[in-house]
Amino acid sequence: MSKKILSLQRTSEDRGQKRKVKRKKAWNVTKITLATLVAAFFAILFLTPIILTITNSFMSSSEISANYGSVFATNSSGGKVYISEKVNLKFIPDMVSFSQYITVLFKSPDYLLKFWNSVILVGPIVVFQLLVASLASYGFARYRGKIREIIFFAYIILMLMPYQVTLVPNYMVSDWLNLLDTYWAIWLPGIFSPFAVFLLTKFMRRIPTSVIEAAQIDGAGEWQIYRRICMPLCKGAVCSAAILVFIDYWNMVEQPLILLSDAEKHPLSVFLSKINAGEIGLAFAVATIYMVPSLLIFLYGEEYLVDGITYQGGIKG
C-alpha cells in the first residue's frame, strides 16, 4: 500500500510539474507575441513618414496640391491659416509621375549642387574625424595618469553639450581665424568632435593587455600595435562611429546657416527647409534622393554597426 501511495504522489507531482512547464511556455509565447506586436506597431509608425515621402514623390503637382495644399496655404499677409479641412494622406498615387525627379535631376541644377555641397561638407568630416579619433583613443587607452583622465573627462563634458551651446564660441573662433563663409568653418569643429574619441576609447580599453604585451615582447612598436592590433580589433567600432557621424552631419542645419553666409555653399539639408509652398512635390522628390545615401550606408553597415555595439574586445576565435 505504501508503494502505491508513493507512486501516486510521484505521479501527481509529475503532473503538477508538467502543468507548470506548460503554463510557463504559454506565458513565454504570450510575452513574445505581445512584444512582437508592439515592435511591429512602432516599426510601422516610424516607417510611415518615409513610405509617405517616397510614394508621394511619384505624384503629380496637381494631385499633391489637392491632397496637401491646405497644409501649406497662407493668407494675404504671408502667415499660416487654420486648417479647416481634413488632410488626405495618400500612400498610392492615382497616376505615377516622374516629373518631380525630372525637374530635380535635369531641369533644376540647384538641387544637385546642394547635394554635392552636402557630400563635400560631410565626407572630409567623417574620414578625418575617424583618423584623429583613432589616434587620440589609442593614447587614452594605452597611457594612464591624472592628466589623461582630466582631458578625457573634458571630452565627455563636451560630448554631452548640444551643438547649439558651442555654436557661439565656434562662430567667434572661426571669425578670429578668418574662416567664416568657408568650408573650414564646418570641417574643423566636425573633425575634432569628441564623440568618436569617446566611442573608440571605450573599445580600445577592452582589448586585453596580454595581447599588447605579447606584441611588445615580439618587438612590435607603438605604431605596429596601433595599426596591426588595435585598429583591426576595433573595426566594428570604427564602422559604427562612421555610420553615426555620417548621419549626424548629413542632417546638419544650424552650422551652415550660422557659419556660411553664402547660400551657394549650403548643403541640401538647409535648402530643403527653404522650399516654398509651390514646390511641395519637389520637396518630396528631393527628400527621397536625400535619404538614399543614409539608407544605403545603414543597410550596408548594419552588420558592422551591431557588431561594433555588442563586441566587447579581445581576439575572436
**Distance (Å, rounded) from C-alpha 266 to C-alpha 247?**
17
pLDDT confidence tier of residue 126, bands split at 50, 70 and 90: very high
Percent with pLDDT over 70 in the chain: 83
**Distance (Å, rounded) from C-alpha 55 to C-alpha 67?**
13
pTM of the full structure: 0.78
pLDDT confidence tier of residue 317, bands split at 50, 70 and 90: very low
User: With b meaning 16 or more CB within 10 Å and e meaning fewer, what string describes 132-147?
Assistant: ebbebbbbbbbeeeee
Max avg pLDDT among 21-25, 35-39, 68-72, 137-141 = 35-39
Give the per-residue pLDDT at 314: 43
Number of neighbouring beta carbons within 10 Å of residue 112: 15
Element (H, E) at 288: helix 280-300
Question: Three cell numbers at 204?
Answer: 580600445
Number of neighbouring beta carbons within 10 Å of residue 81: 12
Residue 310 main-chain phi, psi, to 5 deg: -95, -20
Tell me the average pLDDT across 238-256. Answer: 89
Tell me the average pLDDT across 221-241. Answer: 86
Q: Is the pLDDT of residue 316 over 50?
A: no
pLDDT digits (tens, 9 = 90+) for 3-44: 555 555 566 666 667 677 777 787 888 889 999 999 999 988
Distance of CA 136 to the CA centre of its chain: 23
Number of neighbouring beta carbons within 10 Å of residue 25: 10
Give the per-residue pLDDT at 208: 83
Sign of torsion over alpha carbons 187, 193, 199, 203: positive
**3-state DSSP call for residue 253?**
coil
Q: Is the pLDDT of residue 128 over 90?
A: yes
For residue 80, what are the β-bridge partners? 74
Percent with pLDDT over 90 in the chain: 12
**Distance (Å, rounded) from C-alpha 236 to C-alpha 229?**
13
Residue 81 main-chain phi, psi, to 5 deg: -110, 160
Give the per-residue pLDDT at 83: 55
Q: Is the pLDDT of residue 129 over 90?
A: yes
User: Quick one: residue 219, left, alpha or beta (phi over 0 = left, psi -120 to 50 = alpha)?
Assistant: left
Max avg pLDDT among 23-32, 117-126, 189-198 = 117-126
Tell me the average pLDDT across 161-175. Answer: 85
